[in-house]
Structure 1
Amino acid sequence: MIPYGKQTICPADINAVIEALSSNLITQGPKVDAFERAVANKVGAKFGVATNSATSSLHLACLSLGLSVGKRLWTSSNTFVASANCGLYCDANVDFVDIDPATYNLCPQKLKKKLIVAEKADQLPDILVAVHMCGQSCNMEAINTLAKCYGFAVIEDASHAIGAKYQNQYVGNCRYSDITVFSFHPVKIITTAEGGMAITNNIELAKAMKNLRSHGITNDPAELKDTNQGAWYYEQTALGFNYRMTDLQAALGISQLTRLDEFVERRNQLAVRYNEKLDSLPLTTTTLLIDCKSAWHLYVIQLENPSYRRHVFDVMREQGIGVHVHYIPVHTQPHYQKLGFNWRQFPTTEEYYHAALSLPLFFNMTEDEQDQVVATLSNAISSALNARIKSKR
């Protein structure tokens, strides 16, 4: 099976983990701090807060920005459920904005129209989670302009996009947002096995997230209310969580980070090659904005005739090609339908979903493997067309 994505682990990664495993501290040790500094420095931001997953980072980001009961979070429905669930974790109301059909990202024009209506109803969002689908940044400058105008905070869900660039700067510098979140799941650009990180330039947000990721507990003398206790003393200042990353994970992350640009460059080369090889087939590919360099976490095609997708998917899986579908719109999930959402509310997102198919893309994918994917896709589409012709006779 050629998977749709997988990690690339080298001897240096293994040695880094062994070294961390052999140290005195294998969790809450110096590697986590070093990884946070390394990622923040790489993307041009001030602070990093490492966690056990990007989902945890999204939750902490929302909490640090004050999301709570009665407040509102908006995001795109074309995403993994975590981008919206982080709002529900805070007991906030969640709503969605439709996407741009060319980039699959949240559409600033549709956002503006929704904001105008929401302002009249006194239902403006408190937080917008802008998802960088497939690894390409949203139009963050346009989103930032709207955020300033309408007074909402912005979280970049860059789970797909570490190593990507927007306006010639790394995604994660937080020029146009309050917090950026990265994922280090094995199928992402770099991995810590499981893990995530929230990046910010705001020291108060960073402090809040670090406190909340470890039970809301502090033993910092500068933060304690009772300063007359011994060195054992700590205080719980908030209801926090155990969202910590281990030193083993951080050691792997530090090693992987040294090859980030190499990983992204190879993914871009493979994406260009896919574009060339697929040009004659009845499908469309992602449109890249002129000021973006995608990290290409996913390579998604849109089949010209969505009715063939199940057939194409099944044939390719049977032939050992691990195609996938990213994503089932969040607003169509049973849990969100219980909250009042239904099909046909976000038509562009739904049209995208019905035609979408993710093809395998990973750093050490060979050209022979890529050619096999293309050939199998071409044959699957041809067989779908033939089956349709025969069914009409």
Structure 2
Amino acid sequence: MTNTFIPYGRQDITDEDVAAVVEVLQTDFLTQGPQVPAFEAAVAERVGAAHGVAMNSATSALHAACMALDLGPGDWLWTVPTTFVASSNCGLYCGAQVDFVDIDHETYTMSVSALSAKLEAAQAAGTLPKVIVPVHLCGQSADMEAISRVARAYGVKIIEDASHSIGADHQGLPVGDCRYSDITVFSFHPVKIITTCEGGLATTQDAGLARKMELARSHGITREADEMTHAPDGPWYYQQVTLGYNYRMTEIQAALGLSQLTRLDSFVARRRELAARYNQLLADLPVTLPAQHPDTNSSWHLYVVRVAADRHAAVFDALRAAGIGVNLHYIPVHTQPYYRAMGFAEGQFPNAEAYYAEAISIPLYAGLSDADQDRVVAELAKALAVTQ
């Protein structure tokens, strides 16, 4: 009998999730009803933020966050190369220029020393960024206290890309409370820790930034009299006060998110259990296991092992052939053709490129059984032995 395929990640949907969605389908509101504000409030409370702004994707939330911070032509946004392209594209959407800061070779998040050196050089050159976007890769927070200390000295705004990291902690407090940033963005894509199908949410402690993001997600339109440039003509009146987009989350998505959020702690606990188990089962194999900063407690969206570069592709192919749905997170953004056309080239960010040459994301999700995890480990061991 052929072994079943084990994906690197997948959603966990229960009857309660289905019932929550069906209940919304039977109401009068499929969009712009009570579920979205309820989901926003629940996430904000969970992470210790004053405000939550839900959107149809984390990409939309990143864009709206940049807009709220007034990023525009003539400005710079910096992020890391080891991320999904949305972390840098959000700057391009605003007409800003984009650059990158190399990753730390152990945690794979933004290198504090590289950031410090780059900011010092940028100040001398007159090219300081308006915004930086540290990425919390695989569920582990970047060293936000150090990043904030360095960036704030130069007046730089900070957006935490926590797409991987709902449920994670930094210094014993939840990622998303924005104590070291202006805005934090979460993703609820199906392979993430909780899902709304597609969806994202930005948290902030600043009411003004929250309102700017709310306007950005809904065409820049307001019905609030004190936000209009002249008095309303009547109770039907609305006014576009800025350029916005249609980035709204539906009621259906929010209802699913609310239901999923009730299981966030159990999802994260299981992921941590599986990660600890991987650490034990893989200890004697010739792979580099993921390192954790002592100030962080990852929510373990991904578990990444590193394999010697000369064996990397062969091991990856062998695992796929064995029905193990490994993946690679991520190809360095600066090596993408679109970014090469801007002048970026290989060799500029050596830690990110070395990581790419060796990284393999192996299966990790709350529904992964111990037996399936054992199979992943066995197939990895076999692939490593064959490629010696």
Tell me if TM exceeds 0.5.
yes
Q: For 2:173 and 2:131, how far apart are their aligned partners in 1? A: 23
Secondary structure (helix, strand or coil) at the match of 2:13 reads coil
Aligned-pair CA distance for 1:222? 2.3
The aligned amino acid for 1:368 is A
The aligned amino acid for 1:326 is H
Q: Give the structure-2-normalised TM-score.
A: 0.98
1:367 maps to: 370
Q: For 1:224 and 1:344, how far apart are their aligned partners in 2? A: 51
Cα distance change of structure 1 residues 251 and 350 upon mapping to structure 2, 3 Å threshold: same
Aligned length: 384
1:306 maps to: 309
Q: For 1:284 and 1:76, how far apart are their aligned partners in 2? A: 21
> Mean Cα displacement is larger for which, 308-317 or 160-169?
308-317
Structure 1 residue runs of 5 or longer lacking an equivalent are 386-393
Q: For 1:295 and 1:29, how far apart are their aligned partners in 2? A: 31
Q: Deviations over 1:128-173 (max 9, x none)?
A: 0010000000000001101220110000000000000001000000
Q: For 2:109 and 2:149, how far apart are their aligned partners in 1? A: 17
Aligned-pair CA distance for 1:233? 1.2
User: Would you say 1:320 and 2:314 are equivalent positions?
Assistant: no
**In structure 1, which of residues 15, 23, 28 is the aligned counterpart of residue 27 of structure 2?**
23
Q: 1:1-393 counterparts in 2 under 5 A?
A: 1-303=5-307, 305-385=308-388
Secondary structure (helix, strand or coil) at the match of 1:101 reads coil
Q: Deviations over 1:308-347 (max 9, x none)?
A: 1111111111111000011000000000000010000000
Structure 2 residue runs of 5 or longer lacking an equivalent are none
Q: For 2:232 and 2:156, how far apart are their aligned partners in 1? A: 41
Cα distance change of structure 1 residues 176 and 371 upon mapping to structure 2, 3 Å threshold: same
1:388 maps to: none
Aligned-pair CA distance for 1:279? 0.6
Contact kept, 8 Å, 2:225 with 2:232, in 1: the verdict is no
Q: Give the structure-1-normalised TM-score.
A: 0.97
Q: For 1:225 and 1:326, how far apart are their aligned partners in 2? A: 46
Q: For 1:352 and 1:324, how far apart are their aligned partners in 2? A: 14
The aligned amino acid for 1:320 is G
Percent sequence identity over matched residues? Answer: 55
Q: For 1:88 and 1:77, how far apart are their aligned partners in 2? A: 15
Secondary structure (helix, strand or coil) at the match of 1:131 reads coil
Aligned-pair CA distance for 1:6? 0.3
The aligned amino acid for 1:276 is Q
Secondary structure (helix, strand or coil) at the match of 1:91 reads coil
Q: For 2:177 and 2:77, how far apart are their aligned partners in 1? A: 22
The aligned amino acid for 2:119 is L
Q: For 1:143 and 1:300, how far apart are their aligned partners in 2? A: 23
